[in-house]
Structure 1
């Protein structure tokens, strides 16, 4: 796609100071590190070191659980040479929240986050409001490429090109059933008064999986400012043509931290 196309990089004039934190990018369920391609490039263009973690969905010959994902992220933290800001999406944002007492983690940006209460309330509401979407979302453990084309309307906003949506769907799947099941329950996420880390919370106006009230409760739990919402984006917001708006918001927030 040309540099002038809908997924073109924005011009990012901000350059961080020396000693800026490493950004640890944590993907959501059924995805992989590939979902961060656009944002990773933008963050590095702005001068931030970036580490992209691909969660390993098998642990010691069994399906990995959320605790295994947290351990993998904690190991990635330990491997960095300085302060880290976690940038997590959906299930990856839940993992980021469980790390907020780690000394090396200085802040977290949460995109369409699974809230500390878990998914049980949002999932129950989705089951009544849209049982077909609920059924498909629950099948993120299916092999990659098995997601029906109709799921694109639920994952992406109206501006997502059809070809790009199909390409993403073909790569999605293979999630640990154990991790998906555990994510339904309330999580051991430290409250904001305890961890006292800056937290940025961003939601998508067209997100049908993590509703606005759940995003709001997540921000409230962490004592963060009211969440920002990108009105024309869906759940997989970082893959849509509007992704530069995410980069700009995260980078502006990082600048204020310095």
Structure 2
């Protein structure tokens, strides 16, 4: 079956990409995709969103509003963006959050309308300070490149370094650099907040299912952070070989999409 194309959907706090399933599953939850730092909804439009919709699920992907120079957005603003998107969908949603978007997803676990969460290389409830410090000690050039990702044009200038963190060796260089060149804008307030421990309710405490996927060689959200996130939520997890941090764009993303769909289909039969 042909994968559907995305379209723009206007909601109270902006617009989001949406994919209509060609053969909807009766009673299936919608899937809300939350992107990570320095990205936008476009990361899901390279194939991942369409694959989920082709399996019968309505799929939605907002871009966080970063605010302005005078009032940059914080994590609470990103959570408000996601809440407004959920309200516009008018059905229960499973939030699929990547990296910083995974942290926002965790903060929303106790919200009405959220049926569960799936996390991809998520920023952990403990915050990113420990992982950030370790990266600075282990690989200072890469740490500096990551720290400068939010500067205009920095992604393209630091492409070779960032490729090591974001993509596996199997990812064609031209394709990786094309994605990196699109990255950049991010609220420094949100990034600073994400360094500290966050008010994240455990999934088991609110009675909602969760699953966590990490990349075994991810220097930004390392495997031990993924394990601790899974322990906090008492949730199953998998550490994937052959993938790096930008999992929904990396070479072999189709296998991750299939794992994710298998979990959603089994959980919401």
Asked if TM exceeds 0.5, the reply is yes
- Whether contact under 8 Å (2:122, 2:226) holds in the other structure is yes
Instruction: Identify which range, 60-69 or 242-251, moves more after superposition.
Output: 60-69
Does residue 1:129 correspond to 2:114, yes or no?
A: no
Moved over 3 A (4+): 144-147
Q: Which residue of 1 aligns with 2:49?
A: 40
For structure 1, the residue ranges without an aligned partner over 5 or more in a row are 1-14
Q: Which residue of 2 aligns with 1:177?
A: 188
Q: Which residue of 2 aligns with 1:100?
A: 109
Matches within 5 A, 1:112-151: 112-144=121-153, 145-150=155-160, 151=162
What's the CA shift for 1:194?
2.0
- Pick one of 171, 190, 193 that aligns with 1:160: 171
- Whether contact under 8 Å (2:120, 2:212) holds in the other structure is yes
Q: Deviations over 1:106-134 (max 9, x none)?
A: 01000000000010111111111111111
Normalising to structure 2: TM-score of the pair?
A: 0.87
For structure 2, the residue ranges without an aligned partner over 5 or more in a row are 1-22
Q: Which residue of 2 aligns with 1:26?
A: 34
What's the CA shift for 1:140?
2.7
Q: Deviations over 1:13-52 (max 9, x none)?
A: xx77401011000000001111112110101111100011
Instruction: Identify which range, 53-62 or 166-175, moves more after superposition.
Output: 53-62
What's the CA shift for 1:146?
4.2
- Whether contact under 8 Å (1:147, 1:173) holds in the other structure is no
- Whether contact under 8 Å (2:36, 2:102) holds in the other structure is yes
- Whether contact under 8 Å (1:31, 1:172) holds in the other structure is yes
Which structure has more relative contact order (CA 8 Å, sep 6+)? It is 1
What's the CA shift for 1:61?
5.2
Q: Report the Cα distance in structure 2 between the residues aligned to 1:139 and 1:73, rounded to whole angstroms.
A: 26
Q: Which residue of 2 aligns with 1:190?
A: 201
Q: Which residue of 2 aligns with 1:238?
A: 248
Q: Report the Cα distance in structure 2 between the residues aligned to 1:235 and 1:16, rounded to whole angstroms.
A: 31
RMSD across aligned positions (CA): 1.6
Normalising to structure 1: TM-score of the pair?
A: 0.91
Q: Report the Cα distance in structure 1 between the residues aligned to 2:169 and 2:227, rounded to whole angstroms.
A: 23
- Whether contact under 8 Å (1:29, 1:140) holds in the other structure is no
